């Protein structure tokens, strides 16, 4: 573990040196999509942007165990995925290249706390926009719309949709919208709901036959299925709409407006499409950018 941390540190150091040497050039080392870094950015009236300026770095909350979305390679320490590239795009347009980004892993249940306490400047990690969360944080976006789905073992034939979960052990993550939906709609008995901090833990339980099904957004589940196609499959139609937002401080309307402008520009000039096609789109489902919800 220590060695790994050291190796990751060396790599980050090396990347930082490379980026310093090529100031103003595309600086998305390790990422499939290179982003030019904007110069002299101002976001008037944004306390978060002022904090970033003082620090000289941006701290972005992410997931690190969701392949295709937010994933950290244990060997190289490199982050990859659609959410990561959206996070980097926003950082670049705010003036922060990859060498000035600190990714911080924050699980679903801790997001509102991390954002409202200022532990992250913004959060990009399969974060559904909803009214309950808007009481504590605000959202730019959406930048993608997923839907709740089901992941089962390859040999499973009983589970085909949300109405087939009764009597089955259903795993999901604490503080997520999918686990809440299983409860609210009584899709299985309360005693059959198993919850963890991460979806990786649920997938391990599924492979070990401790649970029968993992439920969350289809985009997340497809990532796990594509890693172990001989053991896992996604079944049925999606049964919710999960618009992904960039979570940020509730009172920072200036930053929200700026990030929405950044997203709109990326929708219009094809950058979003390139990012999608290089990450999530590789699973074979085409998508186009959703309409922003300005508020
Ligand atoms: N998008 C859902 C949510 O925000 C599920 C994925 C997650 O837990 O990040 O709760």
Which domain CATH number covers 194? 3.40.190.10
Residues 120 and 266 in one domain: yes
Closest by CA to 90, choosing from 47, 141, 40, is 141
Residue 226 φ then ψ, to 5° = -70, -20
Residues 125 and 270 in one domain: yes
Residue 132 lies in a domain: yes
* 176 CB within 6 A, ligand 1: yes
User: For residue 187, what pLDDT is reported?
Assistant: 98
- Residue linked to tokens 């950082």: 91
Q: How many CB atoms lie within 10 A of CB 231?
A: 14
pLDDT less than 50: residues of the chain: 1-31
Cα separations in angstroms, 16 against 64, 149, 173: 21, 39, 35
Residues 171 and 105 in one domain: no
Q: How many CB atoms lie within 10 A of CB 159?
A: 19
* 242 CB within 6 A, ligand 1: yes
Cα angle at 121 between 31 and 216, to 5 degrees?
Answer: 65
Nearest CA, atom 9, ligand 1: 126
Question: How far does CA 145 lie from the centroid of its chain?
Answer: 12
Q: Are 37 and 24 contacting, i.e. CB atoms less than 8 angstroms apart?
A: yes
Residues 124 and 142 in one domain: yes
Residues 140 and 160 in one domain: no
* 67 CB within 6 A, ligand 1: no
Residue 63 lies in a domain: yes
Residue 172 lies in a domain: yes
Q: What is the dihedral of CA 182, 187, 193, 195, to 10 degrees?
A: -20
> Which tokens in the block code for residue 40?
């002299």
Residues 78 and 51 in one domain: yes
Residue 265 lies in a domain: yes
Residues 198 and 67 in one domain: no
Residues 24 and 112 in one domain: yes
User: For residue 295, what pLDDT is reported?
Assistant: 78
Residue 157 lies in a domain: yes
Residue 4 lies in a domain: no
Residue 288 lies in a domain: no
Residue 251 lies in a domain: yes
Residues 94 and 164 in one domain: no
* 128 CB within 6 A, ligand 1: yes
* Three-class DSSP category at 12: helix
> Which tokens in the block code for residue 215?
């439920």
Tell me the pairing of strands 70-72 and 137-146. unpaired
User: For residue 284, what pLDDT is reported?
Assistant: 77
Residues 136 and 152 in one domain: no
User: For residue 26, what pLDDT is reported?
Assistant: 34
User: For residue 33, what pLDDT is reported?
Assistant: 63
Please count the helices (runs of H) and the strands (runs of E) in the chain: 10, 13
- Look at the pTM and tell me if it is higher than 0.75: yes
Residues 276 and 139 in one domain: yes
- Please return the burial class of 123, using the count of CB atoms within 10 Å of its CB with bins 0-12, 13-18 and 19+: buried
pLDDT tens-digit readout, 81-138 = 999 999 999 999 999 999 999 999 999 999 999 999 999 999 999 999 999 999 999 9
147 Cα–ligand 1 center, Å: 10
Closest by CA to 216, choosing from 200, 199, 231, 228, is 199
Q: Are 139 and 212 contacting, i.e. CB atoms less than 8 angstroms apart?
A: no
Residues 154 and 210 in one domain: yes
Q: How many domains does the chain have?
A: 2
Q: How many CB atoms lie within 10 A of CB 22?
A: 12
pLDDT tens-digit readout, 138-165 = 999 999 999 999 999 999 999 999 999 9
* Structural domain that includes position 18: 14-146+243-283
């Amino acid at each position: 573990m220590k060695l790994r941390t050291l190796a990751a540190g060396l790599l980050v150091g090396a990347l930082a040196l490379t980026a310093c040497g090529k100031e103003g050039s595309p600086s998305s080392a390790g990422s499939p999509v290179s982003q030019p870094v904007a110069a002299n950015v101002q976001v008037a009236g944004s306390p978060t942007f002022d904090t970033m300026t003082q620090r000289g770095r941006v701290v972005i909350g992410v997931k690190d165990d969701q392949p295709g979305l937010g994933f950290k390679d244990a060997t190289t320490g490199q982050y990859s995925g659609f959410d990561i590239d959206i996070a980097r795009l926003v950082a670049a347009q705010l003036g922060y290249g990859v060498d000035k980004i600190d990714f911080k892993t924050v699980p679903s249940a801790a997001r509102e706390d991390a954002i409202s306490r200022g532990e992250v400047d913004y959060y990009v990690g399969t974060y559904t926009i909803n009214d309950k969360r808007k009481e504590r944080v605000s959202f730019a976006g959406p930048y993608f719309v997923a839907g709740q789905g089901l992941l089962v073992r390859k040999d499973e034939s009983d589970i085909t949709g949300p109405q087939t979960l009764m009597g089955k052990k259903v795993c999901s993550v604490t503080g997520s919208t999918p686990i809440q939906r299983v409860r609210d709609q009584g899709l299985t008995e309360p005693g059959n709901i198993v919850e963890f901090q991460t979806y990786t833990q649920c997938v391990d339980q599924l492979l070990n036959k401790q649970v029968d099904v993992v439920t969350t957004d289809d985009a997340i589940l497809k990532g796990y299925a594509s890693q172990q196609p001989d053991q896992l499959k996604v079944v049925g139609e999606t049964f919710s709409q999960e618009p992904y937002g960039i979570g940020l401080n509730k009172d920072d309307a200036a930053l929200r407006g700026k990030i929405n402008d950044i997203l709109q520009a990326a929708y219009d000039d094809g950058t979003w499409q390139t990012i999608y096609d290089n990450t999530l789109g590789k699973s074979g489902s085409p998508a186009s950018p959703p309409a922003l919800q300005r508020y």
